[in-house]
Amino acid sequence: MTPESRRLWATLALIGIAAVWGATFVLVKDAVEHYPLYAFLALRFIIAVAAFSLMFPRSFRRFAPGTLGVGVLAGGLLTVGYVFQTWGLQGTTASKAAFITGMFVVFTPLMQAVVLRHPPRAVTLAGVALSVTGLWLLSGASADGWTAGDTRVLICAVAYAAHMIVLGSLGTRHDVGALTLTQLAVVAVVCSAVSLVAEQPGLPTDGSVWFALVLTGVLASAVAFAVQTYAQRHISPTKTALVLVTEPAFGGLFGWLAGDYFGIGGLAGSALILSGMVLAEISGISRAGERVVHEPSLEGIPVALVERESEPKSGP
């Protein structure tokens, strides 16, 4: 196979992963209408841990001192993100949830500027402005169009951004596979504990719930990680991120097919949010004394983080 063919297949595989991630918003929204929220997340991540362990068994041998602690911290933030996203889906449309979640891509460099004292670039601020304007239009250009579910998903986006900051600072010295396995396990353990105390469910009896569990637990996590690992060997991190940034667009498409209504304002808002996300990703152009690392997310778009040359480099 030629290098061009490998790049083509890697790009197509990434598009497939973005489509899978986009489809999960509709599937999860439907699943938690038939099965308790924490129980669903618990089973989803138990399956993800099993699938990841089978596909990447060497991750168990790559734990270094401190890996577990960083993984637990990142996993805690990831748990908050998934809980609020799934809870939010119970009060908003799948398409809106997809675009609001995607805003973590523009929140991350903004949060990096505050927490790590890296001044934001002009293109980053432009991306934030576009995305916020898009969010306003997506909500109907009025406070009345904003729901409690939207707020929960927005909290999810902030939690995801904080999660990326942890990976981009503390996580750079640790193996990505070991960190990923730890994070998956943390979400599984926390959600299982809450479910056993508060919900006490039995196993799902609805086939659609099991379909959502398998797709999110296997394809959207372990397989997606494998595809990203393969793609990064053949195409640039920026291109990888720009392909995966189509996730909200797929979420909007599947939401529309499921009956979500956008309207002209909603379409314009969605386009602005996507534009802001693209700007945040293409801000990954290194300047003197800096480099840009596309920090890989567990189940989402890699985010461009600016690092000073003296800082340790993140690796896959």
> pLDDT by residue (tens digit) across 295-305?
666 666 777 66
Decide: 57 and 177 in contact? Cβ < 8 Å.
no
The letter for the amino acid at 184 is L
Distance of alpha carbon 235 from alpha carbon 233, whole angstroms: 6
Cβ within 8 Å of residue 109, ≥6 positions away: 120, 121, 124, 280, 283, 303, 304, 305, 306
Distance of alpha carbon 199 from alpha carbon 53, whole angstroms: 28
- As a whole-number percent, the residues of the chain with pLDDT over 90 amount to 51
Distance of alpha carbon 277 from alpha carbon 296, whole angstroms: 15
Q: What's residue 296's pLDDT? A: 60
Please, which pLDDT band fits residue 169 given cuts at 50, 70 and 90?
confident
Q: Is 309 helix (H, G, I), strand (E, B) or coil?
A: coil
Q: What are residue 292's DSSP bridge partners?
A: 306
Q: How far is CA 206 from CA 46, 202, 250, in A?
A: 18, 12, 25
Q: Is 292 helix (H, G, I), strand (E, B) or coil?
A: strand
Decide: 305 and 109 in contact? Cβ < 8 Å.
yes
Start-end of H helices in the chain: 3-31, 37-55, 67-89, 94-102, 104-115, 122-138, 148-169, 176-198, 207-214, 224-231, 237-244, 247-257, 263-282
Distance of alpha carbon 240 from alpha carbon 49, whole angstroms: 24
Q: What's residue 44's pLDDT? A: 96
- In this structure, of 30-34, 223-227, 307-311, the range with the lowest mean pLDDT score is 307-311
Please, which pLDDT band fits residue 314 given cuts at 50, 70 and 90?
very low
Q: What's residue 284's pLDDT? A: 53
Decide: 167 and 179 in contact? Cβ < 8 Å.
yes
Q: What's residue 262's pLDDT? A: 83
Which secondary structure element, helix H or strand E, spans residue 290, and what is its range? strand 290-295
Between 190 and 232, the higher pLDDT residue: 190
Domain definitions of the chain by residue range: 3-308
Average the pLDDT over 268-278 and give the result.
Answer: 90
Distance of alpha carbon 120 from alpha carbon 62, whole angstroms: 34
The letter for the amino acid at 158 is V
| C-beta pairs of 313-316 under 8 Å, 24+ apart in sequence | 313/172, 314/167, 314/168, 314/171, 314/172, 315/172, 315/176, 316/176, 316/229, 316/232
Distance of alpha carbon 47 from alpha carbon 41, whole angstroms: 10
